[in-house]
A and B are shown apart, each in its own frame.
Chain A
Amino acid sequence: MIVTEQRVSRRGLLKTLAGASSGIAVSRWLRPDVTMAQDPASGKVIEAFTGPRANWHWNSVGPYVTEPQKVPLILLTDRPVQLETPRHYFRTAFTPNEAFYVRWHLEGIPNAVDLNDWKLQIDGNVNKSLAFTLTELMTKFKPVSLAAVNQCSGNSRSQMQPRVAGGQWGHGAMGNAMWTGVRLHDLLDMAGVKSDSLVVQFQGLETGQGPKGLGSNLFLKSLDLDNSVLDECVVAYQMNGEPLPMLNGFPVRLVVPGYFATYWTKCLTGVRVLNTPDENFWMKTGYRVPDTPRGNTTPDDVKAGKVKTVPIGRFPVRSFLISPDGSAKIPAGMNVTLRGIAFSGSGPVKGVEISDDQRNTWTPAKLGEDYGAYSFRTWEAPWAAKSPGRYSIAVRATDEKNNTQPDEPVWNPGGYLWNRIERQEIVVGNAS
């Protein structure tokens, strides 16, 4: 709704805006304070974009930006807001709220919520429509807490070859938090879901400029009522023991353990039971993956119209080396500890292995504390290189259902489901 570019015809814009919006500091839009800009001390900055080859950095390449309630995070887009978490925040099993990544679809995202007005509605094909204030959610139901990874469907999209359009995330569109709230089923049971119901649809405060009925107007997601994940869903009013940051869905967001974050509706206001399939854009067209192993396909098959798609669901098993991150040399002969995280949308991680010989031999890492099936699991492993050189450290995880990360990449037009074995180059220097 606001023109952000300096190069727009200023006179025309000012004229038009003047009448309606004398309260807006239009002059600030047109003359930003450039004296505050400062680049890194080294004077060398990261490239403005990557491609056509894959992004060769762990994170995406955008600048740091400080958004409300956040530490500086990596900017993908500003309106609507998409921010990536820098790699070093993944040293711990729980991701700090102020560093947790952000992804919105439509520009109408809340700056304010009045809890005197806000209510969570449970309606649609139910025996009795209900509405709850935050106080009621906190006091009328038994609170539950659950550690769960929230990962964007497009996490690591910048790895795709060929590259695909969309948010060019590095690996930091993910985070793990302890979510506390009300079981979704407690709410649905109280309202009484009618027997001919098919899906439950979720709506939040996110809205856009597009015409009514289109995906650009409203962000809606749904889950089938026979999906067992509904038994595990939580309507969370706390994140790591604190209120949710506005950008992560204050006052409540849906938690769908093991599922990609597209279903975790932020600033949740409506839970609607439907007796018809959900035909809205965000289910029927957006967030769909090829109905193939790993969601893998080729540009040729897409062009030929051969690809049948299904809504995206659970995320595959993944693991990362977090430190050392390759930004500094390690002296030869020095014993260091490799540290990282692993997780899976299909149950607990049972093992993490590392390799430093082009993925020929694998050594088990030691797993850290277990916070439950859907949490990040930290791992560590001792490592040292006797001689100077360039080493490639690879990490792979296996979950309880024996899903293991493959060495092959994945490709689909949405840029979803990336989970190949990641590698990190470590430079070992002469120690004397």
Chain B
Amino acid sequence: MKNRVRAIFLVMCGLAMAAGVVYADLKKGYYTPAVLGSLRQPAPAELSPDSNYHVSAYPVPLADLAPGEGLQDVQIYCNTCHSPRYITMQPPLPAATWEAEVNKMNKTFGAAIPEDNTQKIILYLQTHYTVENRKQ
């Protein structure tokens, strides 16, 4: 438990630092929450004739994740590198595939999710996103 709290704290610090970077410099990786199905048109960009070419933040609509044990681990750890829409976009996948995907994040991509949380994430995905149990 202590380890978990420490890990969450570290991740939160990372998030805070990342957010600080965004605040300091909106040049990259700038995203904003959004609502799906909006029919309103985006406002035209404000432009000035200098050498800076910019676009607004990229919209991030909430992903509709299944409620259940492990959801918070998914939201914290998976969210560091990509939005959880990466999960809901997939077709139902075999339990072994979900395990392999999470292990790939740790081993190949260096996610360094603590073992306890890794197992929780795997179990969450296997409980809600296989052929046998996927509902949404």
Q: How far is the CB of B15 from chain A (nearest CB, A)?
A: 6
Judging by beta carbons under 8 Å apart, are B23 and A20 in contact?
yes
Please give, as numbers and ranges, the residues of chain A lying within 8 Å of B52 by CB-CB distance: 112-116
B65-112: which residues lie under 8 A (CB-CB) from chain A?
65, 67, 71-72, 75-76, 79-86, 88-93, 97, 101, 108-111
Judging by beta carbons under 8 Å apart, are B31 and A78 in contact?
yes
Among B17, B83, B101, B131, point to the contact of A165 (Cβ < 8 A).
Answer: B101
Knowing A2-B19, A49-B91 touch, does A79 contact B51 (C-beta < 8 A)? no
Among B28, B59, B82, point to the contact of A66 (Cβ < 8 A).
Answer: B59
Judging by beta carbons under 8 Å apart, are A79 and B75 in contact?
no
Judging by beta carbons under 8 Å apart, are A2 and B31 in contact?
yes
Judging by beta carbons under 8 Å apart, are A116 and B31 in contact?
no
**When chains A and B are docked, how far (Å) is the Cα of A108 from the Cα of B67?**
29
Contact with B along A94-133 (1 / 0, CB 8 A): 0000000000001111111111100000000000000000
Knowing A21-B19, A32-B35, A109-B29 touch, does A5 contact B62 (C-beta < 8 A)? yes
Please give, as numbers and ranges, the residues of chain A lying within 8 Å of B83 by CB-CB distance: 4, 77-79
Knowing A77-B83, A112-B27 touch, does A168 contact B32 (C-beta < 8 A)? no
**When chains A and B are docked, how far (Å) is the Cα of A152 from the Cα of B40?**
30
Knowing A24-B23, A77-B89 touch, does A49 contact B18 (C-beta < 8 A)? no
| Interface residue? A43 (CB, 8 A) | no
| Interface residue? A28 (CB, 8 A) | yes
Question: Chain A interface secondary structure, helix, strand, loop or mixed?
Answer: loop
With contacts defined as CB atoms under 8 Å apart, how many contacts are there between chain A and chain B in the complex?
A: 238
Judging by beta carbons under 8 Å apart, are B72 and A9 in contact?
yes
Among A3, A23, A37, point to the contact of B36 (Cβ < 8 A).
Answer: A37
Judging by beta carbons under 8 Å apart, are A16 and B60 in contact?
no
**When chains A and B are docked, how far (Å) is the Cα of A364 from the Cα of B97?**
43
| Interface residue? A76 (CB, 8 A) | yes
| Interface residue? A225 (CB, 8 A) | no
Please give, as numbers and ranges, the residues of chain B lying within 8 Å of A165 by CB-CB distance: 90, 93, 97, 101
By beta carbon, the residue of chain A nearest B84 is A5
| Interface residue? B45 (CB, 8 A) | yes
Judging by beta carbons under 8 Å apart, are A1 and B76 in contact?
no
Judging by beta carbons under 8 Å apart, are B28 and A108 in contact?
yes
Give the contact stretch, choosing among A139-147, A209-217, A288-296: A209-217
What total of chain B residues lie within 8 Å of the partner, measured CB to CB?
A: 73
**When chains A and B are docked, how far (Å) is the Cα of A79 from the Cα of B81?**
8
Among A9, A33, A216, point to the contact of B35 (Cβ < 8 A).
Answer: A33
Query: Which of B40, B45, B76 has the most chain A CB within a 10 Å cutoff?
Result: B76
Q: How far is the CB of B134 from chain A (nearest CB, A)?
A: 7
Judging by beta carbons under 8 Å apart, are B101 and A78 in contact?
no
| Interface residue? A75 (CB, 8 A) | yes
Q: How far is the CB of B91 from chain A (nearest CB, A)?
A: 3
| Interface residue? A50 (CB, 8 A) | yes
Judging by beta carbons under 8 Å apart, are B81 and A216 in contact?
yes
Contact with A along B4-43 (1 / 0, CB 8 A): 0000100011011111111100111111111111111110
Contact with A along B40-64 (1 / 0, CB 8 A): 1110010000011111111111111
| Interface residue? B3 (CB, 8 A) | no
| Interface residue? A333 (CB, 8 A) | no
| Interface residue? A190 (CB, 8 A) | no
| Interface residue? A251 (CB, 8 A) | yes
Please give, as numbers and ranges, the residues of chain A lying within 8 Å of B136 by CB-CB distance: 48
Among B35, B55, B67, B79, point to the contact of A3 (Cβ < 8 A).
Answer: B79
Judging by beta carbons under 8 Å apart, are B109 and A214 in contact?
yes
Among A6, A168, A214, point to the contact of B110 (Cβ < 8 A).
Answer: A214
Closest 8 CB pairs of A and B: A51-B91, A1-B18, A112-B54, A68-B55, A216-B109, A20-B20, A21-B19, A116-B51
Known: A17-B16, A207-B28. 8 other contacts (CB 8 A): A19-B16, A24-B23, A36-B35, A48-B88, A63-B36, A107-B31, A111-B27, A163-B93
Subset of 30 A-B contacts with CB under 8 Å: A1-B18, A1-B19, A2-B19, A6-B62, A7-B67, A7-B75, A19-B16, A20-B16, A23-B23, A36-B39, A37-B38, A50-B91, A68-B42, A77-B89, A78-B34, A78-B58, A108-B29, A109-B28, A109-B29, A110-B28, A111-B30, A114-B53, A115-B51, A116-B52, A165-B90, A165-B93, A210-B109, A214-B108, A216-B109, A216-B111
